[in-house]
Structure formats: structure tokens, C-alpha cells
Amino acid sequence: MDVYRADEPKPLYRVLDEEGSPVGSVPDLAEDRLVGMYRGMVLARTFDERALNLQRQGRIGTYAPFSGQEAAQIGSFAALEKDDWVFPSYRELAGMIYHGLPMERALLYSMGHPDGAKMPEDSRMFPVQIVIASQLLHAVGAGWACRLKGERSVAAAYFGDGATSEGDFHEALNLASVFSVPVVFFCQNNGWAISVPVSHQMRSATVAQRAVAYGIEGIRVDGNDVLAVYEGMLRAVDRARAGEGPTLVEAVTYRLGPHTTADDPTRYRDEEELKRWRERRDPIVRFRKFLENRGIWSEEQERAEWEQARRAVDEAVVRAESYPKADPSFAFEHVYASMTPDLCNQRDEWRARASRREGMQ
């Protein structure tokens, strides 16, 4: 009797080893694209570290750091086109910034400003999604609409390993499979759903092999190898664009920081584990070594790039903190395209109460 064993993992696709040396076929990308991807990773790490400090200073609200996952995000977003639909979770800011989201807009979101959820008009990115896994169903709907309209665009849904324990994950994969929807499900498996390790979420050895149950293709890549991520995502996107249906991509990575700024990972994560990933598997160090070995990156460029990134982030912070404050009643105006009578009454009542409170002070 042939039995498919759940503990037999899918192989991990890799282009670069931990020292940045090729162990697989290097994608045929122009030097400026390779350098552009690296610059995107440097900018993302700089932004993330600054945002974490801003939260600790009380200048922004709760924030979900992504350091350590830059390759998974930049590599996958680099395989998308501007006309493709993107449905992120709350930890995709690196990719979203690379795809055109202004950094000050990302900061405004953590400041609680309504404009923080406004995406650039020339992109098809949706705002950050906090509700776990719900964006997968939205992506399936968008991809299905593209197919019905005869468009070549695809949809990409981003989520973490914890989302694979949600019903929406399974419903989305099943619906996409049945109707051969042009959608890519991109899972950043960083090993932890807050404090729950992936081993406590599933008995299967990998996320990617779950694709078998839905009759779709599953790919498992080294999420800290930006070129492997790019290759895996490009294959998935090309399949979707060619009408070959959905793909589940698992990028095996690691978050170096807390789940959010409300989390203390020292209470559940082994310090030696963190040290191994930080010192041996940092995606930025790995890709920099590859570029240096190719002769297209130097120490001088490295110093200048980090300094330029710091200036760019500083300027974004200034723009965000000088942005006009929002009237709290603004929230009532964004429930529907046009305000209903009930919402108008609620807004007016709120304004009257706020005015009375101000008069009592």
C-alpha cells in the first residue's frame, strides 16, 4: 500500500549558501536589479530598526518588526508587476515599501492616522490586514475576478505560519484550487506564531506540502536567500499568469525581533536559536557577500548605502510627524463610500460630546 507520509518534508530550494556562494542556478537578472534588491533590503532594515525605537519612545503605537525577513519580502515582491494585486498581513512593510509604499505612510498607520491605510494610487496593494488569514480569501476573489475579466494580472496573498491554522487558509486554498484561480499564497514561516512554535500548529513537516491536499503546486524556499525566493515566487506567478492555477509558496525564515512591540520573546525563545539565525543566516549579510564576490558591490558603497538609508528614514519620520492631525470624527466617514443617516447622526453626536468635554476643561 502506497502511503503519503506527513513527516516527509519537501526539499528546501536554495540558490546561495549562508556565505553567499552559489549552490544553485543564479537567476538571470541585470546588475542594477540585483543592486536594487539589496538597497531595498538595507532601507527596510533601517526603517524597521528606527520604527522599533520610535515605538519605545512613545512616538508611534504598536508595531510588528520584520527584521530577518527582508529577503522573503523583497525577493517575492520583485517577482510581481505593478498590475498585480497584493494582499499583505501586518508584517510585509519591507516588501510594500519596495513596491512603492511611502515610508511616512507606513509610520502614519502605526500612529493611528486614517491616511496610513491609503495605498498609492498607481498600485494594487491593499492596506495592512490585522485579522489573521482573512486576506487570503480577498486575494482569491481578486484573482478570480481577473480571470473572469480576461486580465493577465495575478493576486498574491501574504501571511505567516500561524495563519495556516485558521479556517480561512483552508477555505481559500480549496476555492482557488477548484476554480483554478490565478493566485499565489506566500507564507513567511518564521517559526513562531507569537509564542507558539510551528511544531505545535501542525504535524506535517512543512507548510508547502499542505498544497498536496488541495491539488495545487507547493514550493518550499530558503526565505533568507533573496534569489531563491525570487525564483520560487516567479515560478508561481508565471504559472498563475499562464492559467495553470494557484501555488503555495513557503519561505522558511526567522524574525529576529519580537512578534510585536507588545511581545517579549525572551519568555519563550531560546537565546542560542536567535544567535544562530542572527550571526549565520542574516539575509542582508548573505546577499551582500554574493554581490561583493561578483564585483558589483564594495565597502565604500556599503557605507554610503546605509548612510543614505538613514537619511531617507529620518526624512520620512519628519514628514510623518509633521503630517496634519486627523479629526477623530474622520473615522465615521470611511465605513461606506457614502455616509448613511445613522452614521451622520453618530458623528454629530460624537462631535457634540467632544465639544462639551472641551468646554468643561
- Please list the active-site residues: 255, 259, 268
The tally of CA atoms less than 13 A away on the side-chain side of residue 59 is 12
- Residue 280 cell numbers, joined: 549565520
Contact 69, 94 (CB under 8 A): yes
Count CB atoms within 10 A of the CB of residue 69.
Answer: 27
Whole-angstrom distance, CA of residue 141 vs CA of residue 166 = 18
H or E element that contains 174: helix 167-178
Whole-angstrom distance, CA of residue 88 vs CA of residue 207 = 18
Whole-angstrom distance, CA of residue 341 vs CA of residue 353 = 18
Contact 60, 51 (CB under 8 A): yes
Length of the chain measured in residues: 361
Count CB atoms within 10 A of the CB of residue 354.
Answer: 13
User: DSSP 3-state assignment of 197?
Assistant: strand
- 354 to each of 112, 327, 330, 350, how far by Cα in Å? 19, 11, 13, 6
Closest CA relative to residue 126, chosen from 138, 137, 115, 114: 138
Largest distance between two CA atoms of the chain: 80
